[in-house]
Chains A and B, each alone.
Chain A
Amino acid sequence: MHFALSEDQRVLQRTTDEICAQLFAVSPVGDARADGGALRAKLWSKLAELDLVGLLVPEHQGGAGGSLTDACVVAEALGRHIAPVPYVGTAIAAAALLRFGDGPDESLARLCRGDAYSVLLDGGLDDPAGTATVAFDWVDGALGVALSPDGRATVHDLVDVDPITDVDPLHRLARVRPVPAGEASGDGARRARAVAWTGAAALLTGLADGALRQSVDYAREREQYDRPIGSFQAVKHLCADMLFDVETSRSITYGASWAAEHAPIDEAERVASAAKAHAGAAAIRVCETGIQVLGGIGVTQEHDAHLRLRCAHLHHAAFGNSDAPLVLLAGRLLEKV
């Protein structure tokens, strides 16, 4: 057993961080509001070009044949920079559903080349029971992926697409003509869900880490009473709490990144559930605390802090918010005793 990123994964981390830092030197706000999505498109094609969109797709199906840990490294870096791309939706959740739910090979190959695929969920962003009505992490021209009632992943052209004005302008949702969809019961579908939970947890961890870094930088610079506010214990303890949340999210998320892919399905689900529930609650706490450390600027649109918090709420809500994973964990525990 060893619990550590490989040298290649550390390079992947630096690469993704650098690309984002270059593209979003100013802020994703500009991209979300002003440039009609040019930066978003630029980043997405860069990720596809580097084979990072198809990390979860095996080589024989046209993908990069990476691991879920690799994909989590990328998702975390994208979260750190609040990157406005549908990575969790397409590269992780949809790719996992197509791969483990025996979706069409051709769709996997197209996904790797950068075509967007939206996972179809119910109105509460949960596993649909009967019909799916909402496309998660939707972009113009995306195809939909749903778990059909017979337990296989099916691809749908989206009809009657009606974009939803929801909490996160960088990761969009759209209402679509209902598609028949069932709940995850077979091993493949359950594994796909565990992978989606873990991917969301990785993005959430990155969001929290970005908030922590911003807060710490600010607390070192900003002076009140003739000293940096970071020298006051009240502020220090807020930052320490953020660090605690970030590092514990990292531990469970990277543990899940291995388990969701390699462990027997019950264990995969157990660890992934914990990752989703913990990283979701932690990211919201950390983004809220980050706003507190920033003070006034943090509650304006002149800063990204609100986008970070919005993004954290959306990804916490995705795939059954914390309820589904917690109830699953409780059920497992009660079966065991």
Chain B
Amino acid sequence: MDLRDSPEEARFRGRLCAWLKENVPADPEPAVLAERWPYMRAFQQHLYRGGWVALSYPEEVGGQGLGPMEEAILSEELGRANAPTLLPLGHLGRPLLRYGTGEQRRRYLPPLLASDEIWCQGFSEPQAGSDLAALRTRAVREDDAWVLNGHKTWTSYGVFADFCLLLARTDPDAVRHRGISAFIVPLSAPGVTVRPIVLANGDEEFAELFLDDVRIPAENILGRPEDGWRIAMDVVNYERGAVETGYLPKFERYLSELAEFVKTRTSAPDRATLRALGEAAAALEVLRMHCLRTLSDRASGAPPGPESSIDKLLMTAVEQKLMALSLSLLTDTAVPGRAEWFDRYLYGRAGSIYGGSAQIQRNILAERLLGLPRSPA
């Protein structure tokens, strides 16, 4: 155990802090997604030009060639600097890096990491939510193209995206997890229809994708045919961490905002308020340390596995605890910003559903880590 920065890490942190001091925008983050999206994206692009994005990606694809510990430092310092929320898409470069051909990595990764091209995930379908392997979208090979037909849903940031990492069944006779392949689908392709879905908080963050005879070049398959399930599991393991998604600094900011609110309202908060604030602060400390441990394990080069379900449950628990705290503090209808916090609270209810519901995460932990017998289907 040694949680001190190495000399290189300390230098990195120093440079980063200096840069953030100069570059974190002074104007507040807009509450409504339609305005928040360009604001977040602009900061993310600026962060990339500064050399602070994709730290643990190799340089030849537009990364910085550093390691997971630098990612941890970035998370910590973005939180301290009250930086804008990152686009929670950091995990989508991972499958391209790991399974992409040289050509795919060269073509797609640099603009993805720079946020010049936006990606989304085409996994869930109306009949395939928790049971992702039940997906029905089909991809059929015709000459030098794949022809896609199907329907995807809950596609986060679908309305903003240029490309979709999409799962489709390529072998109709294979059982469930087998016979699924992963594709790179440009959303501008003829036959793709994107319909926004408005979330409970009013944001158009989700979308449905309809694919009607969408033809994509043969080389747009990612990995080998039937690699889809493995690729998907890789993606969700990355997605389940609070660092790749940029959620750790976002939660830090929420906690600071709530503390400021308490401070402006009263000079002597009661014991219950102090305890509730303390609970939220403790939860964030736990999340920060757990992320550090997770990233430290990853420094050996191993991608995350089923233990990422702990990260995911923890991230959800912290978010929902913060939101419960906000509801307990903002009880007066005259409080400015109450409605915005309520919308954040509603958004927080999604945390235990997307990326594998909290119940699916528990199944994974019980079966994959504790070795309990599989439930009869």
Which of A's residues lie within 8 Å of B, judged by CB?
Answer: 1-6, 67, 69, 216, 219-220, 227-228, 230-233, 235-237, 239-241, 243-244, 247-248, 250-252, 254-259, 262-263, 270-271, 273-275, 277-278, 323, 325-334, 336-337
Interface presence of B198 (CB below 8 A):
no
Residue-wise interface mask of B (93-114) relative to A, using a CB-CB cutoff of 8 A (1 in contact, 0 not): 0000000000000000000000
Complex Cα spacing A237 to B352, Å: 14
Across the A-B interface, how many residue pairs have beta carbons closer than 8 Å?
Answer: 185
Q: When the two chains form their complex, are residues B310 and A244 in contact, meaning their CB atoms are under 8 A apart? A: yes
Q: Looking at chain B, what size class is its interface with the partner chain?
A: 35 or more
Interface centre among A216, A236, A323, A332 (most CB of B within 10 A): A236
Residue-wise interface mask of B (339-377) relative to A, using a CB-CB cutoff of 8 A (1 in contact, 0 not): 000000000000000000001011101110111111110
Q: For B307, what are the chain A residues with a Cβ–Cβ distance below 8 Å? A: 247
Interface presence of B2 (CB below 8 A):
yes
Q: For B5, what are the chain A residues with a Cβ–Cβ distance below 8 Å? A: 1
Known: A1-B9, A240-B362. A251 touches B372 (CB 8 A): no
Main secondary structure of the interface of B (DSSP, over half): helix
Complex Cα spacing A237 to B367, Å: 10
Chain A residue at minimal CB-CB distance from B295: A3
Q: When the two chains form their complex, are residues A332 and B281 in contact, meaning their CB atoms are under 8 A apart? A: yes
Which of B's residues lie within 8 Å of A, judged by CB?
Answer: 1-6, 9, 69, 72, 255-256, 259-260, 262-263, 269, 271, 273-275, 277-279, 281-283, 285-286, 288-290, 292-293, 295-297, 299, 307, 310, 313-314, 359, 361-363, 365-367, 369-376
Q: Top 3 closest A-B pairs, CB basis?
A: A326-B278, A274-B285, A255-B289
| Sampled A-B contacts (14; CB under 8 Å) | A5-B1, A67-B1, A220-B373, A236-B372, A239-B366, A240-B362, A247-B310, A252-B286, A262-B3, A271-B289, A275-B285, A326-B281, A326-B282, A329-B277
User: Nearest-CB distance from B369 to chain A (Å)?
Assistant: 6
User: Nearest-CB distance from B362 to chain A (Å)?
Assistant: 4
Q: When the two chains form their complex, are residues B3 and A278 in contact, meaning their CB atoms are under 8 A apart? A: no
Chain B residue at minimal CB-CB distance from A67: B1
Complex Cα spacing A328 to B274, Å: 9
Q: Which of B278, B281, B292, B372 contacts A255 (CB 8 A)?
A: B292
Complex Cα spacing A134 to B362, Å: 42
Q: Which of B72, B259, B281, B361 contacts A1 (CB 8 A)?
A: B72
Q: When the two chains form their complex, are residues B1 and A254 in contact, meaning their CB atoms are under 8 A apart? A: yes
Complex Cα spacing A329 to B278, Å: 5
Interface centre among B262, B295, B362 (most CB of A within 10 A): B362
Q: For B286, what are the chain A residues with a Cβ–Cβ distance below 8 Å? A: 248, 251-252, 274, 278
Q: For A241, what are the chain B residues with a Cβ–Cβ distance below 8 Å? A: 362
Q: When the two chains form their complex, are residues B256 and A236 in contact, meaning their CB atoms are under 8 A apart? A: no
Q: When the two chains form their complex, are residues B299 and A2 in contact, meaning their CB atoms are under 8 A apart? A: yes
Q: When the two chains form their complex, are residues A240 and B297 in contact, meaning their CB atoms are under 8 A apart? A: no
Q: Which of B263, B313, B373 contacts A231 (CB 8 A)?
A: B373
Q: For B372, what are the chain A residues with a Cβ–Cβ distance below 8 Å? A: 216, 219-220, 228, 230-231, 235-236, 239
Q: For A258, what are the chain B residues with a Cβ–Cβ distance below 8 Å? A: 1-3
